[in-house]
């Protein structure tokens, strides 16, 4: 039966207000809480539901990241994934490289479906799923808010600027998730214990025959411009007066 591959990225927790290093060399990530990219948690939840509905037989979570990414993969296993693959790499890579790595894993695993997040909330690129679909020469449906699978066809509703759009895809295919697709389950303690025994295999870029290409060189990182402190008004009359004075009404 069929397999679903889910891409899980380790990122700074979405509640952390990130700060730029004073020397402009990057953002401060030391001692910052890390977690699974929220969109990827949704991707995993969707895969688990498809498995529970009998559409898939196995859910494999894959990631590219430093050794610590095992934490996020263990959480994914505790959520219900069957096994995990970690392509260990200490440095950030560009989405095209990530897509090339995932293509290798796809060739190995031959899944029916790959689900990724629509974007990783660290670099906010929003590219990897589409790039993988292109390299794999398979359909893509981005920003999914509803997924139905019927045999070899997926019907996916996507959140687009104009509203909602539905596509029909021949499987295998790549789907990227939007926020309203589902609400991920909580992990239960016994599952965390069980997850320790689930298989987690580690690979390297070298072993997969991939070199990290680099097209974009970050010269510096700066904080966004600070806004001038605003004013507080005491009532609606003052609000309207202030708006008029500022030329906004």
Residues that bind ligand AMP (CB under 6 A): 7-9, 37, 39-40, 43, 63-65, 95, 98, 116-117, 119-120, 123, 125-129
Shortest Å, Cβ 1 to another protein: 22
Q: How buried is 56 (Cβ within 10 angstroms: 0-12 exposed, 13-18 middle, 19+ buried)?
A: buried
In the window 1-20, what residues touch ligand FAD (CB under 6 A)?
Answer: 14
Beta strand 153-160 with 200-204 is unpaired
Nearer to ligand AMP, 34 or 242 (CB): 34
CA distance 116 to 28: 26
State which of residues 35, 38, 65, 172 lies at the interface with ligand FAD (CB under 6 A): 38
User: Which of another protein, ligand FAD, ligand AMP, none sits in contact with 116, Cβ below 5 to 8 A by type?
Assistant: ligand AMP
Our finding on whether 208 is near ligand FAD (CB under 6 A) is no
Q: Which is nearer to ligand FAD, 14 or 239 (CB)?
A: 14
Q: Which of another protein, ligand AMP, ligand FAD, none lies near 117, with the C-beta cut-off 5 to 8 A by kind?
A: ligand AMP
The one of ligand FAD, another protein, ligand AMP, none whose footprint includes residue 222, by CB under 5 to 8 A per kind, is another protein
C-alpha–C-alpha distance, residues 244 and 249, integer Å: 5
Nearest Cα residue to 98 out of 69, 121, 137, 125 = 125
Determine the Cα–Cα distance for residues 73 and 79; give it in Å rounded to an integer: 10
At closest approach, how far in Å is the CB of 125 from ligand AMP? Answer: 4
Residue 72 interacting entry, from ligand AMP, ligand FAD, another protein, none, C-beta within 5 to 8 Å by type? none
Which helix (H) or strand (E) segment holds residue 164: the answer is: strand 163-170
Rounded to whole angstroms, how far apart are CA atoms 109 and 41? 21
7 touches 136 (CB < 8 A)? no
**Residues between 68 and 127 with contacts to ligand FAD, criterion CB under 6 A:** 121
Q: Which residue is nearest to ligand FAD (CB)?
A: 38
- Shortest CB 225 distance to ligand AMP, Å: 24
Burial string for 233-247 (b: 16+ CB within 10 Å, else e) reads eeeeeeeeeeeeeee
Which residue in the block uniquely carries the two structure tokens 């894993």? 105
Residues 126-185 that bind ligand FAD (CB under 6 A): 179
Q: Cβ neighbours of residue 85 under 8 Å, at least 6 residues apart? A: 60, 61, 62, 63, 105, 200, 201, 202, 203
Q: For residue 150, what are its two tokens?
A: 């019927």
DSSP-based three-state secondary structure for 141: strand
Give the residue among 169, 151, 163 at the shortest CA–CA distance from 115.
169
CB of 160 to ligand FAD, least distance (A): 14
Rounded least distance, CB 247 to another protein, Å: 9
Of all residues in the shown chain, the one whose CB is closest to ligand AMP is 117
Binding footprint of ligand FAD on the chain (CB under 6 A): 14, 38, 121, 179
């Amino acid at each position: 039966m069929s397999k679903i591959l889910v891409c899980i990225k380790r990122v700074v927790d979405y509640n952390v207000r990130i700060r730029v290093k004073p020397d402009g060399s990057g953002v401060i990530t030391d001692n910052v809480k890390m977690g699974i990219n929220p969109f990827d948690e949704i991707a995993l939840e969707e895969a688990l539901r498809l498995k529970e509905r009998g559409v898939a037989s196995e859910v494999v979570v894959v990631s590219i990241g430093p050794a610590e990414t095992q934490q996020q993969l263990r959480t994914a296993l505790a959520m219900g994934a069957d096994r995990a693959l970690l392509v260990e790499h200490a440095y950030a890579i560009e989405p095209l490289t990530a897509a090339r790595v995932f293509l290798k894993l796809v060739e190995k695993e031959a899944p029916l479906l790959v689900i990724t997040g629509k974007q990783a909330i660290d670099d906010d690129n929003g590219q990897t799923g589409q790039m993988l679909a292109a390299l794999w020469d398979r359909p893509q449906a981005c920003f999914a808010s509803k997924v139905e699978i019927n045999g070899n066809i997926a019907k996916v509703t996507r959140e687009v600027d104009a509203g909602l759009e539905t596509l029909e895809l021949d499987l295998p295919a790549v789907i990227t998730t939007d926020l309203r697709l589902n609400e991920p389950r909580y992990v239960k303690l016994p599952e965390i214990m069980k997850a320790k025994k689930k298989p987690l295999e580690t690979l390297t870029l070298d072993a997969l025959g991939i070199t990290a290409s680099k097209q974009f060189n970050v010269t510096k990182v700066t904080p966004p411009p600070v806004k001038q402190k605003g004013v507080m008004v005491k009532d609606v009359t003052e609000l309207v007066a202030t708006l008029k004075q500022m030329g906004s009404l």
